[in-house]
Chain A
């Protein structure tokens, strides 16, 4: 690859850093320009709640180091604190809001996602918080130090439940609301969600499901959240909106690059423009389970995608076939782990053992989703890997075996038996 080549990376998260590493580790010697609105080193949004709780220090939110050493080591030209305003595939240039223009030979869009705020009255009020960025974390941490008496969390998501825990631990009276009829609507089966909901209710956390937020008013120093069910509003000193995130792609010209919910990418992380790649929470890659493209906003997925993009941009061909949605989280003395799709299969089964709750969803003879609550979750990785592998190779292993205790033994035997 010629030394005078220019690569421009937009964004500065896990996907961007993995791309940088992959470029240099695959002998790319040209220029790397990294343009980002953030002025900080790459951080991991998942760690923000850990910082607010005091479990980790501020510096620990930056998994690649809380300094610029890594960028120096990989010879990256940084343009931080400069939001990108446009990407023109005709002139092959990235332009920033401040008027700078960076030409590229290849470009990676790794701009991530931002919290979704519904377009309703009151979302811009001072005590309405989101949880995504380092700044969000700092603001919520300060707010918790003021000991809010009552708090409302909107969005029973993976982030929402962690924020509920933060507020609960800070001694606040907490209400968790969601438009969906039950907790973790994307990750949990309703029955498993119900088990969690009962435990939350026992802790004094109020749940208000099945109604969307319509407006947030403020009077006499109190916020009030009004919902679509018309019932009395929810009063609070603090409101956190954790409905979900939307990809940051406002600067993309839809005529030039194909977009669905996110930027559509192939298994090389290439977009509809052959010189533009996308990775991370902005990219819509393959969901192995459905065979359809979907944004799967997970840290490992972002890193794999970024690395694949970097390798391909460096000319070392690499393929990332996709992922299946998965989560593991703990909150208020519970551990919840799940992967796949719990709602659209043909049947589910539940099992309670050793104090744990396990639910599996099947589509015919294929395992398509698992929820585990409070069990040691010891087999979750083995099962998830087996399902992924079956989907990747198009040869699902004997899925009837997956639920039996023979699973681990059988799979391991295949690894070790004589060739």
Chain B
């Protein structure tokens, strides 16, 4: 059954719990300032601060971003070796590290800047907590840690029609392809 993580910008309070939980769950070391600036240490889920509006009228929002597991993922098409693939059953876009050559074609293809490269130069990213869920947990670590319920993990088929349309619109925007999200 295909499942995905949904993010509600109106509920996010920017507490960074999801970012920390993701790092703990996936054994990712904390950034130094230098690594954060040059984006050279892997981070699978990132919280970003976004300011909007004019002077005197600013509002601040937060976006918690990780791999979108696009239905028609540009990274999968761009990958020259077949290291990246999308599992139709689960909806996961996964990387097979033994096939990755670190060429960064996926980085040039991803509209969200998701692909990360470790010290081994191989690509790594969110796998929707594959190990954690196989161990019997109900939700990915980021979702479980979210105190504001801004992140939600659910079955794509159980979403309301309205939500599906909204999600699909995002993906179409992201991948520029009407085959996204299977509509």
Contacts and interface: CB of A to CB of B under 8 A. Distances in A.
Interface in B151-183: 165-166, 169-170, 173-174, 176, 179
A304 B174 CA distance: 16
A384 B108 contact: yes
Interface centre among B113, B115, B176 (most CB of A within 10 A): B113
A303 interface: yes
Interface string B109-153: 111110100000000000000000000000000000000000000
A415 interface: yes
A168 interface: no
Contacts of B105: 299-300, 328
B80 A47 contact: yes
A231 interface: no
A56 interface: yes
Given A47-B81, A354-B37, A354-B38, A412 B108 contact: no
B77 interface: yes
A199 interface: no
Contacts of B10: 418
Nearest to B115: A381
Contacts of A392: 176
B101 to A, nearest CB: 6
A358 B38 CA distance: 13
Contact of B176 (A335, A389, A411, A413): A389
A313 B165 CA distance: 29
Nearest to A337: B108
A256 interface: no
A384 B48 CA distance: 20
Given A355-B38, A378-B39, A379-B113, A339 B108 contact: yes
B173 A378 contact: no
Interface of B is mostly: mixed
Contact of A381 (B37, B50, B101, B107): B107
Nearest to A300: B78
A401 to B, nearest CB: 13
A385 B109 CA distance: 7
B107 A328 contact: yes
A63 B50 contact: no
Contacts of B38: 354-356, 375-376
B82 interface: yes
Nearest to A338: B108
A129 B52 CA distance: 57
Give the interface size class of chain A.
35 or more
A46 B82 contact: no
Nearest to B64: A416
Contacts of A384: 108
A388 B37 CA distance: 27
Contacts of B39: 376, 378
A385 B177 CA distance: 12
Contact of A299 (B61, B78, B112): B78
B80 A63 contact: yes
B63 A412 contact: yes
A378 B107 contact: yes
Given A378-B39, A413-B9, 20 more contacts: A44-B80, A46-B80, A55-B101, A63-B82, A299-B78, A330-B103, A330-B104, A354-B38, A380-B107, A381-B113, A382-B110, A385-B110, A385-B111, A409-B48, A409-B49, A409-B51, A416-B9, A418-B9, A419-B165, A419-B166
A-B interface, 8 closest residue pairs, ranked by CB to CB distance from nearest: A385-B111, A63-B82, A381-B110, A378-B39, A409-B50, A300-B78, A416-B9, A354-B38
10 contacts: A44-B81, A63-B80, A328-B108, A337-B107, A377-B107, A381-B108, A385-B110, A410-B50, A412-B63, A416-B170
